[in-house]
Structure 1
Amino acid sequence: MDSPVTPHHTTALLILNSNSRSGDTADIADGLGLLANNGIQVIQKKTSSAQQTVQHIEDHAQQIQLVILGGGDGTISSAAASLYKHQLPFAILPLGTANDLARSLNIPATLSGAFQVIVDNHRSRINLGVINNHYFFNVAHIGLGVKVTSELTPQVKKTWGVFSYLKAAFAAFKKSRPFRVALHVDGKTHYLHSIQIAVGNGRYYGGGNVVDEKSEIDDGTLCLYSLPPSTLWKLLSYTFFLRYGKHHYMQETFTVSGQHIEITTRKPKDIIADGELIAKTPAVFKVIPQALEVIRPSPD
């Protein structure tokens, strides 16, 4: 249930990832002034690793009422377990390359806009995805998407920005191989030949691609698509459908949604979620509906 909350003397932990695409150049002084003028006291910390992010939250969990995460999707995802454990509300300053969770939540791309959202303090609860006891917000990949992530080096991200995903996709396709998979979705079994499987808790991945046009991060379900083995040129002809989550229009592409998904492959395959390698198949995917409270723009 969405709820506007008026902040009074809130203590917030701001964790800023200086390794994120904009984190080392972001000027947050004006934003911090805006927070202070609206009764939000900020404890500011820098992070350069998932472990540091978690440690900051653990160290301050008892004295704060809000966590503000300044970074990309990896930074935010690394905080998921601690946020859920302590049931801490969070807000986002989108400083990464893709900022897909911020996109799912309609958070402005500008720092000034994101700080204003925090001050407006409209809150709602969102789902959290789980893969073999690891949490994720956006989308998990097996196959082609894993190769794309490995091609997406920090240097490529810095140089190419949002176009880095397209550059990485071309390089990844040359290295990817088809695989056979057994899917068990809410008790039903499907056998597929695939080059790419994506399972979405949120709506966006890879710099604004949509996992399913019906997917929302507060809908209580996971959305899955599987691409059959194909040529690069055929995949390129489907760019519009892939970009806007219209996979069901693509020939032989498999789509399904559910709350409990088991994925088994003949050999263990890596699973990337929110840009990080977090598991291997066989894997169980689940969703925790209404798991976390987040500050986001009012839908009005």
Structure 2
Amino acid sequence: MVMYNHALFIYNQAAGQANTEKALAAVLPEISVHVKELQIIQTEREGETTEICREWGERTDLVIVLGGDGTVHEAINGLAELEIRPILGILPGGTCNDFSRMLRIPQNLARAAKILMQGKTQLLDVGKVNDHYFLNFWGVGLVADTSTNIDAGQKKVLGKLSYFLSALKTMQAAEPFHFTLEADEHHLKGEAVMILVMNGRYIGTNQIPFPNMKIDDGLFDVLIVRDSTFGSLIEVFNLEELPPNNAEAVGNLQHFQTSSLSVQTSPVLEADTDGEIYSETPAELIVLNKHIQMLVGD
């Protein structure tokens, strides 16, 4: 049986007391069996998970976060810059839980805890954009506008369906922007409605099937979408037809892999980083290859 000397368990109370108590009851008994000393911290405000991970990360063997993609994003921003980084585990407690899906973690909390505590790990890439870090994706255009346009009330009631409703609304109003992109082997200019830089594979619970995509190969998958028609979205979900590393346009799409890139846009655009909107273009992105060890599913 896998045992850890010290583990840090972080959760957010935002879901409400009844839901939180149910979630904790589903996971803590399984976790506690595998940990000699378990420290449990409840967060109450935005950014607190980052602060906790930064403060405690080098003094613990394992950090487990119970939350959605935003909580995971905060955790990686606290851990990625540490000299000694603990193992990171995700228990899916949000609306979409996209990165946990990438790691083959069950979406049922009790099953997820059982699978994670088997102790299977993998060294994974981390994306860095300017002074921040991300696990899943960075993007501008449609993807950022979709996140901005999600109605908080709809998200609470409809869950992941709210993402699709926002995407449809955003598509109707999408305007192209000018971009300049410098990558390892490519220099691109033109107009687009979205630039998406992927480290993970899921957005809004939808799997984007990038050819030959791996989460530990030191490469981003970059997707440029030229227009906002429904046909373009259909092309996105048929990416297995694209060559694995080709910057030439195929239909309305361009796709290639790179370890770093620089993105400038006109006008300046807000950027979506793992579903969080707090930065804008221009942006410098690099892959930190096999930078964090994470618990993964079967």
Mark yes or no: TM-score above 0.5: yes
SS state at 2:23 partner: coil
Partner of 2:113: 115
C-alpha change, 1:102 and 1:244, in structure 2 (3 Å) is farther
Once residues 260 and 269 of structure 1 are traced to their aligned partners in structure 2, the CA distance between those partners, rounded to angstroms, is: 20
SS state at 2:242 partner: helix
C-alpha change, 1:182 and 1:43, in structure 2 (3 Å) is same
C-alpha change, 1:23 and 1:69, in structure 2 (3 Å) is farther
Partner of 2:95: 97
C-alpha change, 1:230 and 1:294, in structure 2 (3 Å) is closer
SS state at 2:47 partner: helix
Partner of 1:3: none
Partner of 1:29: 25
Q: 2:71 aligns with which of 69, 72, 75?
A: 75
Partner of 2:5: 10
Counterpart residue identity of residue 252, structure 1: N
1:185 aligns with 2:183: yes
The Cα of 1:20 is off from its aligned counterpart by 5.4
Query: Which one is further off, 20-29 or 74-83?
Result: 20-29
Once residues 245 and 117 of structure 1 are traced to their aligned partners in structure 2, the CA distance between those partners, rounded to angstroms, is: 31
The Cα of 1:28 is off from its aligned counterpart by 2.1
SS state at 2:165 partner: helix
Q: 1:65 aligns with which of 39, 61, 78?
A: 61
C-alpha change, 1:25 and 1:234, in structure 2 (3 Å) is farther
The Cα of 1:245 is off from its aligned counterpart by 4.2
Once residues 195 and 20 of structure 1 are traced to their aligned partners in structure 2, the CA distance between those partners, rounded to angstroms, is: 34
Query: Which one is further off, 43-52 or 104-113?
Result: 43-52
The Cα of 1:202 is off from its aligned counterpart by 1.4
C-alpha change, 1:252 and 1:30, in structure 2 (3 Å) is closer
1:234 aligns with 2:231: yes
C-alpha change, 1:205 and 1:247, in structure 2 (3 Å) is farther
Deviations 1:120-155 (A, max 9, x none): 011110000011121000011110111100112332
Q: 1:160 aligns with which of 135, 158, 169?
A: 158
Is the CA contact (8 Å cut-off) linking 2:143 and 2:194 kept in structure 1? yes
Query: Which one is further off, 127-136 or 22-31?
Result: 22-31
Is the CA contact (8 Å cut-off) linking 1:83 and 1:89 kept in structure 2? no
SS state at 1:216 partner: coil
Is the CA contact (8 Å cut-off) linking 2:58 and 2:85 kept in structure 1? no
Q: How many residues align?
A: 289
C-alpha change, 1:61 and 1:260, in structure 2 (3 Å) is closer
TM-score (norm 1): 0.88
TM-score (norm 2): 0.88
Deviations 1:208-266 (A, max 9, x none): 231624322222100111111243x434xx43x43464473961311111001111112
Query: Which one is further off, 120-129 or 272-281?
Result: 272-281
Deviations 1:65-84 (A, max 9, x none): 11101001110011113212
Once residues 246 and 51 of structure 1 are traced to their aligned partners in structure 2, the CA distance between those partners, rounded to angstroms, is: 37
Q: Which runs of 5+ in 1 are unaligned?
A: 1-5
Partner of 2:247: none
Which 4+ residue blocks in structure 1 deviate beyond 6 angstroms? none
RMSD: 2.3
Counterpart residue identity of residue 234, structure 1: G
Query: Which one is further off, 6-15 or 282-291?
Result: 6-15
Is the CA contact (8 Å cut-off) linking 1:20 and 1:97 kept in structure 2? no
Q: Percent identity, aligned pairs only?
A: 24
Counterpart residue identity of residue 11, structure 2: L
Once residues 15 and 187 of structure 2 are traced to their aligned partners in structure 1, the CA distance between those partners, rounded to angstroms, is: 40
Is the CA contact (8 Å cut-off) linking 1:225 and 1:247 kept in structure 2? no
Once residues 244 and 19 of structure 1 are traced to their aligned partners in structure 2, the CA distance between those partners, rounded to angstroms, is: 37
Partner of 1:217: 215
Is the CA contact (8 Å cut-off) linking 1:89 and 1:292 kept in structure 2? yes
